[in-house]
């Protein structure tokens, strides 16, 4: 395998905010900002799983009903423009998150709420909320541990459900959350070390609460300058994290990751490659399954026949490639149309012979 | 006084012992039963065994009937020998061979017909359903006894060449375009227009052709289909069409095709179907953006890997007739063939579907076994994960289907083999993704303390103190018994 170039063919993003209540506005803003970014860089909504633990946009305390901002300048509105939340409010639970990763669902779970990745998928996982040493709190009622996520990743690895994972977490003592991972091809970054808090960036006086966290703010500051064809690498992103900016020690774990970060394009995780195949079309497949050698319809009932062309010109079949000459191993020899017409001629002769009972 | 005290002690002792007995014989088993993780025994050895015998158990023998003129008898054995040698050199990961038989064969058999031709040696592989290969042999070849070689080369290189290559690449990742295998697919044909004027299409008639086409793919998988017409599906603003003054057309750059489809705005709902959906879009651009020509594309179409195909239809008509739709349907048919991963040669769709079916039966068998092995490894690795009985049942059924599929291959029933292998694949997937197999959450030791201490603490304190007191009393009474045995006896009297 080429170790410098990613061999993924599709991109997925799982974006999770885990805390409830109005004063955690910034966690919703964090995750919505990431949602906006991955969408801007080309991951379609069908490949983004957005878990939004509270609905701050419609909170009665919101001075700007229906809007969510991640900056006091309120230049960028995160909520209004075509948003698809997959898990909302109390649906954001540890169990649902583990089920999402391992894809163990009851039959009735809709496809849009599942992580339908395969061995060619690169997955970006972003989590934010309140955490501690090796745990992250969900909904003020339960918590997920670093072991749980590590085991879920191992199950994904075992079932070949990813090519590479980029795990990013913004919470207090975030770096402990990836300490227990053991499956290959996972790159993780966190906002703060053990016994370190992660801080919010600034508050909006009219909204009345902090609107974004520092680590996410500076990640976004970097990502915002990115275009779909950017050649910036993850090393550039990691280098942009400094203690002066974030006020905590952002961490990177790359021992599980095979590639050198300076070779990994950011768009390997934040964009979406979808290589289309243009003009690779061959002729006559439909014809060949519906007509026989003499140009007559097959497998049609008498009612259906009048609705389609009962006979089509046999010349429509491009037989050039079916005749293989051994001299050159290339198409040549009898021209296709001759063969076709010979066949038709023999056919009609036979039919005539039958008709006249010769 | 001593009498009452003695009774009290005895009663207390009885109470204490009975509570301890309840704890030991009811409480402990109950606690054990409710906290242990249910783990059904998986047939691990059988799964690993099957994985190693996969090669030997699926033995492909493809019969090919050869009609020979009398002069060339004996060539059949020679041709067989040559084919065997050629295949041996390819070293396929499965046991796969061509078996030549003399005779004419039936409609569904592969047939080689030999003809004498004065010019050059040529092969005509019928593109129709008849699975016939016509071999035109020149007198020189017959003179030099090269007929056998010609037959061998034709079959190994021209007819089954792609199949052999596909098997050679069995262990490599699948083509990017190919949709992940499913025994059922749903095909949605959509007519989308950028404009607003009424538009329609004679899909009922065209669909008749498509229906036959889809049913010819039935050995591979089942296809259902429907159609829809959507209006006012505008191109996204990110797509920059360039107007070409000379050709009077808008050019869609090849790089823009990847963002051509507006998944969020266009009515392409994929969530109503449980099975994977193959989408085919016939896009009629709005009048002010017509005609659109895709760069480097003669057919004006493109494939979106694992999703479907798009064809641009530049028309002013308000109703697309059967004749207008035929070329579009041909494009969709060709795109579908690529989306299911069919081989490129020979031309005959029938032979290619045969090849695809045979290949897929092995691929499905392999994937089923891979799934089961993953499951075994996982259960070994995560001691806390529960393995319900339903998982074991599904594993056993999957194994049964794998064996049946191998038998079907040996008896040369390829489509049955694929159907069984597909079932095995679905079952093994279900077994792996069993919804009750969600890993129990990890509990740190402090959490266990936090749960058990308030629950058992007060109770355990009383019990421990009670036991201590009992022991103390027992010792005291044995001491006093020694000192004043007669007195006690008296008092009992």
Q: How many CB pairs below 8 A link A and B?
A: 211
Give domain B61-168's CATH architecture. 2-Layer Sandwich (3.30)
With a cut of 50, list the residues of chain B below it in pLDDT: 1-3, 488-493
Interface predicted TM-score of the whole assembly (ipTM), two decimals: 0.79
Of A230-239, A337-346, B273-282, B323-332, which range is least confident? Answer: A337-346
CA of B12, closest CA in chain A: separation in Å?
Answer: 43
Going by pLDDT thresholds of 50, 70 and 90, the confidence category of residue A279 is low
Distance CA A263, CA A3 (A): 9
Give domain A10-270's CATH architecture. 3-Layer(aba) Sandwich (3.40)
Distance CA B272, CA B457 (A): 54
- Asked whether the bond before B346 is cis by omega within 30 degrees of 0, the reply is yes
Residue with tokens 């402090």: B446
Long-range contacts of residues A136-142, Cβ cutoff 8 Å, at least 24 apart: A136/A18, A136/A169, A136/A171, A136/A177, A137/A18, A137/A19, A138/A18, A138/A53, A138/A92, A138/A93, A138/A94, A138/A97, A139/A18, A139/A19, A139/A20, A139/A53, A139/A90, A139/A92, A139/A93, A140/A19, A140/A20, A140/A21, A142/A93, A142/A94
- How far is residue B241 CA from its own chain's centroid? 39
Residue partners of B276: CB distance under 8 A and separation at least 6: B179, B180, B182, B184, B185, B186
Is A313 part of the contact surface with chain B (CB cutoff 8 Å)? Answer: no
Residue A284 is given by DSSP the state -
For B84, the token pair is 């065997």
Helices B349-381 & B414-432 angle (0-180, nearest 10): 30
**What is the model's pLDDT at position B492?**
43
Distance CA A270, CA A122 (A): 9
Active-site entry in A8, A27, A172, A201 = A172
- Model confidence over A70-122: pLDDT tens digits? 988 888 888 876 788 999 988 999 999 999 999 999 888 888 899 989 888 89
For B162, the token pair is 């792609």
Residues in A touching B321 (Cβ below 8 Å): none
* A58 noted as active-site residue: no
| Nearest beta carbon to residue A155 from set B209, B306, B378 | B378
CA of B276, closest CA in chain A: separation in Å?
Answer: 10
For A119, the token pair is 């061995």
CB B241 within 8 A of CB B292: yes
3-state DSSP assignment of residue B14:
helix
The stretch A305-322 carries a mean pLDDT of 56
- Model confidence over A195-208: pLDDT tens digits? 888 888 988 888 88
Chain B residue with minimum CA distance to A146: B442
**What is the model's pLDDT at position A179?**
92
**What is the model's pLDDT at position A322?**
53
* A130 noted as active-site residue: yes
Residue A175 is given by DSSP the state G
Distance CA A157, CA A193 (A): 27
- Model confidence over B162-177: pLDDT tens digits? 888 888 888 887 777 8
CA of B435, closest CA in chain A: separation in Å?
Answer: 5
Q: Residues of CATH 3.40.50.1460 domain(s) within chain A?
A: 10-270
Chain B residue with minimum CA distance to A278: B302
Is A82 part of the contact surface with chain B (CB cutoff 8 Å)? Answer: yes
R_g over Cα of chain A: 29
**What is the model's pLDDT at position A333?**
34
Is A326 part of the contact surface with chain B (CB cutoff 8 Å)? Answer: yes
The stretch A7-24 carries a mean pLDDT of 90
Distance CA B214, CA B202 (A): 18
* pLDDT surpassing 90 at residue A17: yes
* pLDDT surpassing 90 at residue A170: yes
Residues in A touching B127 (Cβ below 8 Å): 284, 288, 317, 319, 322
CB–CB contact B212 A111 (8 Å): no
Active-site entry in A58, A130, A195, A201 = A130
Chain B residue with minimum CA distance to A47: B263
Going by pLDDT thresholds of 50, 70 and 90, the confidence category of residue A273 is low
* pLDDT surpassing 50 at residue A331: no
* pLDDT surpassing 90 at residue A187: yes
**What is the model's pLDDT at position B236?**
77
The stretch A241-255 carries a mean pLDDT of 89
CB A114 within 8 A of CB A100: yes
Residues in B touching A293 (Cβ below 8 Å): 126, 128, 130
CA of A183, closest CA in chain B: separation in Å?
Answer: 12
CB–CB contact A334 B122 (8 Å): yes
């Amino acid at each position: 395998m080429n170790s410098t170039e990613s061999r993924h063919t599709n991109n997925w993003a799982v974006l999770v905010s885990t805390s409830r209540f109005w004063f955690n506005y910034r966690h919703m803003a964090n995750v919505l900002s990431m949602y906006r970014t991955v969408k801007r860089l080309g991951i379609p909504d069908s490949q983004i799983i957005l878990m939004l633990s509270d609905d701050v946009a419609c909170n009665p305390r919101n001075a700007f009903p229906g809007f969510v901002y991640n900056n006091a300048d309120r230049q960028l509105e995160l909520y209004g423009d075509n948003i698809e939340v997959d898990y909302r409010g109390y649906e954001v639970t540890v169990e649902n998150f583990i089920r999402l990763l391992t894809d163990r669902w009851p039959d009735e779970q809709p496809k849009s709420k599942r992580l339908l990745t395969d061995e060619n998928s690169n997955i970006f996982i972003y989590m934010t909320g309140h955490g501690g040493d090796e745990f992250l709190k969900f909904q003020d009622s339960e918590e997920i541990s670093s072991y749980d996520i590590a085991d879920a990743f191992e199950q994904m690895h075992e079932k070949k459900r990813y090519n590479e994972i980029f795990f990013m977490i913004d919470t207090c003592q975030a770096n402990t959350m990836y300490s227990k991972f053991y499956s290959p091809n996972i790159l993780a970054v966190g906002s703060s070390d053990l016994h370190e808090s992660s801080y919010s960036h600034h508050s909006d006086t009219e909204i009345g609460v902090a609107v974004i966290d520092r680590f996410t703010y500076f990640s976004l500051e970097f990502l915002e300058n990115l275009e779909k064809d950017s050649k910036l690498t993850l090393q550039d992103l990691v280098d942009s994290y400094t203690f002066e900016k974030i006020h905590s020690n952002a961490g990177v774990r790359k021992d599980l990751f095979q590639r050198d970060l300076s070779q990994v394009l950011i768009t390997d995780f934040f964009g979406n490659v979808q290589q289309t195949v243009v003009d690779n079309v061959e002729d006559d497949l439909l014809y060949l399954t519906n007509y026989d050698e003499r140009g007559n319809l097959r497998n049609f009932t008498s009612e259906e026949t009048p609705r389609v062309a009962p006979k089509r010109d046999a010349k429509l079949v491009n037989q050039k490639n079916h005749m293989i000459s051994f001299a050159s191993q290339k198409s040549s020899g009898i021209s296709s149309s001759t063969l076709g017409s010979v066949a038709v001629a023999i056919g009609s002769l036979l039919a005539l012979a039958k008709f006249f009972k010769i | 006084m001593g009498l009452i005290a003695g009774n009290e002690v005895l009663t207390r002792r009885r109470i204490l012992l009975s509570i301890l007995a309840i704890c030991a014989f009811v409480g402990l088993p109950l606690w054990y039963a409710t906290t242990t993780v249910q783990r059904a025994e998986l047939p691990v050895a059988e799964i690993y065994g099957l994985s190693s015998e996969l090669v030997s158990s699926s033995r492909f023998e493809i019969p090919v009937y050869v009609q020979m003129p009398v002069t060339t008898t004996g060539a059949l054995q020679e041709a067989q020998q040559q084919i065997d040698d050629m295949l041996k050199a390819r070293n396929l990961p499965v046991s796969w061979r061509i078996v030549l038989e003399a005779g004419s064969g039936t409609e569904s058999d592969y047939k080689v017909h030999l003809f004498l031709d004065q010019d050059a040696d040529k092969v005509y592989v019928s593109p129709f359903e008849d699975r016939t290969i016509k071999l035109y042999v020149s007198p020189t070849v017959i003179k030099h006894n090269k007929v056998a070689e010609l037959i061998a080369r034709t079959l190994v290189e021209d007819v089954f060449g792609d199949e052999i290559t596909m098997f050679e690449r069995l262990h490599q990742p699948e083509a990017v375009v190919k949709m992940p295998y499913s025994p059922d697919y749903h095909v949605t044909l959509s007519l989308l227009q950028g404009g607003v004027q009424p538009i329609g299409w004679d899909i009922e008639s065209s669909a008749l052709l498509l229906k036959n086409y889809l049913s010819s793919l039935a050995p591979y998988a089942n296809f259902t289909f429907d159609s829809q017409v959507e209006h006012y599906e505008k191109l996204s603003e990110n797509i920059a069409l360039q107007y070409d003054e000379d050709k009077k057309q808008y050019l869609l750059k090849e790089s823009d095709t990847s963002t051509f489809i507006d998944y969020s705005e266009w009515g392409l709902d994929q969530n109503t179907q449980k099975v994977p959906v193959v989408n085919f879009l016939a896009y009629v651009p709005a009048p002010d953006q017509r005609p659109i020509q895709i760069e480097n594309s003669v057919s004006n179409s493109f494939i979106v890997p694992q999703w479907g195909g798009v064809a641009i239809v530049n028309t002013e008509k308000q109703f697309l007739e059967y004749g207008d739709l035929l070329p579009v349907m041909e494009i969709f048919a060709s795109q579908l063939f690529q989306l299911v991963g069919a081989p490129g040669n020979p031309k005959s769709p029938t032979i290619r579907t045969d090849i695809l079916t045979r290949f897929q039966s092995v691929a499905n068998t392999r994937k089923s076994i891979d799934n089961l092995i993953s499951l075994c490894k996982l259960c070994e690795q995560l001691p806390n994960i529960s393995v319900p009985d339903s998982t074991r049942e599904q594993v056993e059924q999957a194994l049964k289907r794998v064996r049946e599929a191998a038998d079907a291959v040996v008896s040369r029933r390829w489509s049955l083999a694929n159907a069984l292998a597909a079932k095995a694949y679905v079952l093994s997937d279900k077994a792996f993704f069993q919804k009750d197999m969600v890993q129990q959450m990890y509990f740190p030791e402090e959490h266990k303390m936090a749960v058990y201490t308030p629950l058992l603490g007060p109770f355990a304190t009383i019990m421990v103190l009670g036991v201590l007191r009992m022991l103390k009393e027992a010792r005291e009474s044995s001491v006093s018994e020694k000192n004043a045995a007669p007195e006690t006896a008296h008092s009992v009297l």
